[in-house]
């Protein structure tokens, strides 16, 4: 696949580099907006940093108005630093880095067991530590799980137990049905809803406000049936070595000179790592980009085997990284697709489910068991439990609720 770098950045007057920012930065974790902020500041503060090319007009002005906001991951690591419970650093870092833009787990728990090669007990032990942090409800599987965590933390034990046992009934907000199933009085149901309404279904939203801009890291295009991957928004920085020859006896200037090289070396490593992983992901999902095929099964373990990076490195690299395709922006980690036990991709099964259900007899809709058999006819294999899970993820009601009554 072809690759080309097109880096431009406005050359700014330089002063003093924020050494703490540079030395503490994990380049792989940082998104493109923050990288551009950092480079802009470095160009202003380090006398040895310059751009190789003259600037091209881009609408980067908004970057000057964005102040650095602590990320959810940074906040969790800060709390982890003061945690007195024992934990596995690799496992807990993997979980933190995998949290999606709602602060929830990105994958089913079974995927974590498989990818980390650990038992359910070890995973749950480390996850519970994260779930004990602020904001309460972080690290949940979904909004319902997050509400349950909040209820338990607030010592609303009765409401917590009811939500765990009867969540599908409670979510209907049908008083008669809730009263029948739970044997609660109307007053008790009112109290239950009062407790639930005090919870925040998206407790991590403060870290993912609409003020945050998304800038893609790569652009993907198709030209003559060839996939072209183009890295974007990375300025081509160089170090002014001739200036160093003039001031090399100044100790402070030596620090600036070393910091300039440190920045360029780490940016180069970051860009190469993103490109290598993106290349493998796009190669695996070639049919998706060229022919609009469904995404095929691809896990972190698959990428580890193909590109040689550790799974934790791949997870950090993909977090908050985006690609542009057909003028739309998507998270790179969306190209990761879990497998069923049979090896079929979840994406292909979900697409088949939508197709089967959209074409079913509305007077006699397909049960989950019937959907399993229909999928087998398409050479797609999974259990009824998996069908139920995927159907719920797609917000598709059960067959009884899909039935049209005459």
Please tell me the distance from the alpha carbon of residue 127 to that of residue 138, in angstroms, as a whole number: 10
Interval 78-122: pLDDT, tens: 888 778 889 998 899 889 988 988 899 988 899 889 888 899 999
pLDDT score, position 345: 65
Residue 398's SS3 state is: coil
**What integer best gives the mean pLDDT of the chain?**
80
Whether 158 contacts 143, CB under 8 Å: no
Lowest mean pLDDT among 41-50, 144-153, 278-287, 292-301: 292-301
Nearest to 27 by CA among 335, 323, 320, 324: 320
Domain with CATH 1.10.10 in the chain: 346-402
pLDDT score, position 126: 96
pLDDT score, position 7: 24
Give percent above pLDDT 90 in the chain. 20
Q: 278: pLDDT confidence band, cut at 50, 70 and 90?
A: very high
Please tell me the distance from the alpha carbon of residue 196 to that of residue 210, in angstroms, as a whole number: 26
Residue 16, pLDDT above cutoff 50: no
Please compute, for residue 335, the number of CA atoms within 13 A of its CA located in the half-sphere on the CB side.
Answer: 29
Task: Quote the DSSP letter at residue 228.
Answer: E
More confident residue, 125 or 320: 125
Residue 70, pLDDT above cutoff 80: no
Q: Over the range 184-220, which residues count as b (16 or more CB within 10 Å of their CB) and which as e?
A: beeebbeebeebbeebbeebbeebbeeeeeebbbbbb
pLDDT score, position 333: 85
Q: How far is CA 367 from CA 2, 17, 361, 398, in A?
A: 47, 63, 11, 7
Residue 128, pLDDT above cutoff 70: yes
Residue 393's SS3 state is: helix
Nearest to 342 by CA among 312, 386, 306: 386
What's the full length of the chain, in residues? 406
Interval 158-201: pLDDT, tens: 999 988 888 888 877 788 888 888 888 889 888 988 898 889 88
Fold category of 346-402 in CATH: Arc Repressor Mutant, subunit A (1.10.10)
Whether 149 contacts 140, CB under 8 Å: yes
Write the DSSP string, 120-181: HHHHHHHHHHHHTSSSTTTT-SSHHHHHHHHHHHTT-HHHHHHHHHHHHHHTTT-HHHHHHH
């Amino acid at each position: 696949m072809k690759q080309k770098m097109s880096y431009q950045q406005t050359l700014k007057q330089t002063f003093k580099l924020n050494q703490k920012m540079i030395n503490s930065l994990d380049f792989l974790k940082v998104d493109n907006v923050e990288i551009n902020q950092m480079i802009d500041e470095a160009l202003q503060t380090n006398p040895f940093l310059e751009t190789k090319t003259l600037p091209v007009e881009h609408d980067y002005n908004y970057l000057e108005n964005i102040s650095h906001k602590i990320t959810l991951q940074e906040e969790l690591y800060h709390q982890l630093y003061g945690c007195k419970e024992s934990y596995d650093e690799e496992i807990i870092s993997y979980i933190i880095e995998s949290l999606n833009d709602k602060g929830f787990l990105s994958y089913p728990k079974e995927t974590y067991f498989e990818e980390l090669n650990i038992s359910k007990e070890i995973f749950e032990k480390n996850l519970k530590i994260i779930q004990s942090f602020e904001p309460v409800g972080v690290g949940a599987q979904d909004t319902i799980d997050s509400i349950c965590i909040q209820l338990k933390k607030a010592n609303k034990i009765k409401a917590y137990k009811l939500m765990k046992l009867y969540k599908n009934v409670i979510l209907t907000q049908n008083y008669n049905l809730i009263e029948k199933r739970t044997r609660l009085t109307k007053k008790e149901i009112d109290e239950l809803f009062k407790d639930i309404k005090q919870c925040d279904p998206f407790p991590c939203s403060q870290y993912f406000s609409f003020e945050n801009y998304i800038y893609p890291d790569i652009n993907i295009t198709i030209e003559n049936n060839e996939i072209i991957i183009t890295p974007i928004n990375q300025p081509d920085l160089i170090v002014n070595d001739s200036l160093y020859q003039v001031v090399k006896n100044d100790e402070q200037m030596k620090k600036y000179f070393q910091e300039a090289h440190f920045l360029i070396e780490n940016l180069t490593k970051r860009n190469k790592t993103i490109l290598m992983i993106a290349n493998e992901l796009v190669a695996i999902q070639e049919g998706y980009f060229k022919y609009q095929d469904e995404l095929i099964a691809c896990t972190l373990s698959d990428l580890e085997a193909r590109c040689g990076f550790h799974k934790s490195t791949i997870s950090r690299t993909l977090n908050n990284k985006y690609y542009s395709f057909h003028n739309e922006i998507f998270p790179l980690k969306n190209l990761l697709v879990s497998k069923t036990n049979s090896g079929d991709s979840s994406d292909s099964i979900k697409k088949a489910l939508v197709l089967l259900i959209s074409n079913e007899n509305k007077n006699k809709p397909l049960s989950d068991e019937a959907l399993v058999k229909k999928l087998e006819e398409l050479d797609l294999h999974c259990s009824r439990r998996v069908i139920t899970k995927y159907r719920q993820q797609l917000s598709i009601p059960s067959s009884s609720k899909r039935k049209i009554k005459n």
